[in-house]
Amino acid sequence: MGVRAGAFLALGPQPSLGRRCSMPGRFYDEWTIGDRLAHQPHRTVTETDNLLISTLTHNPQPLHLDAEYAAASEFGRILVNGTFTFALMVGLSVGDTTLGTLVANLGYDKVRMPKPVFVGDTLRAETEVIALKDSRSRPDAGIVTFEHRLLNQRDELVCVCERTALMQRRPG
C-alpha cells in the first residue's frame, strides 16, 4: 500500500518558530490530531546492524545470528532482530517529532511486527498524531500520542506502535 501524493508532510529544513534554539521537534501546542509525517532519511538494514544489536542486548537467538539455522527456518534466511526494527522506527521519527521539545517518553504501547525484516531491506517511517491531552500536573507541558509505522521497500508494514510523550509547550 503506497503513500498517496500529498498525504504526508515531508519534513526538511524548517523555518524558526520562535523557539529558544533551532530544534526541529514540535512543541505540544503545535500538534493537532491527524497530523501525519513521512520521515527522512530512509534506512537500508545491514548485517552489522543486526549483529551489533543482538550482541549489545545479549540476544543469542540463532534466527538472528546463525545463517545455517535461519536457512532451515520458514523464513529461509536470517531475520533482523525485532528490537533493532522497533528502535529504528522510533529513532527515524525523533528529528521531526520530539527533538528538543520532549520532556519524557511515557510509554510505548501496541507494538506489533506483522512482517519480518531482512538484511538489505530499506525501511521508512511515518507518524500520525492520534491523541492530545493537556497535562493536569504540568501546565507547561502536554501529552501527545503518536502512532509510528515502519514500512519496507515493498510498502509492507513491518512495525507499528503507539508512543506517548510528555512534550513542552511553546515558551512564552
Q: How far apart are CA 167 and CA 172, in angstroms?
A: 15
| Position 45 confidence tier, pLDDT thresholds 50, 70, 90 | very high
- Nearest to residue 81, comparing CAs of 108, 99, 100, 63? 63
Supply the DSSP symbol for 16. Answer: -
Q: Judge whether residue 48 has pLDDT over 60.
A: yes
Cβ contact 46:119 at 8 Å: yes
pLDDT of 159 reads: 98
pLDDT of 4 reads: 38
| Position 56 confidence tier, pLDDT thresholds 50, 70, 90 | very high
| Position 171 confidence tier, pLDDT thresholds 50, 70, 90 | confident
| Position 23 confidence tier, pLDDT thresholds 50, 70, 90 | low
- Give the cell for residue 93: 521519527
| Position 172 confidence tier, pLDDT thresholds 50, 70, 90 | confident
Q: Which residue has the cell 532451515?
A: 72
Cβ contact 125:39 at 8 Å: yes
Domains in the chain and their CATH numbers? 25-168 (3.10.129.10)
Q: Is the peptide bond before 41 cis (omega within 30 degrees of 0)?
A: yes
CA 34 to chain centre: 17
- End-to-end CA distance of the chain: give it in Å, rounded: 42
pLDDT of 24 reads: 78
Q: Judge whether residue 132 has pLDDT over 80.
A: yes
Q: Judge whether residue 3 has pLDDT over 50.
A: no
pLDDT of 2 reads: 42
Is 0.75 surpassed by the pTM of this model?
yes
Phi-psi region of 110 (alpha: psi -120 to 50; beta: other; left: phi over 0): left
- Taking residues 132-158, report their average pLDDT: 97
Q: How far apart are CA 77 and CA 60, in angstroms?
A: 16
Burial class (CB in 10 A: 0-12, 13-18, 19+), 137: exposed
Q: Which residues contact 163 (CB under 8 A, 6 or more apart)?
A: 90, 93, 105, 107, 108, 145, 146, 148
| Position 6 confidence tier, pLDDT thresholds 50, 70, 90 | very low
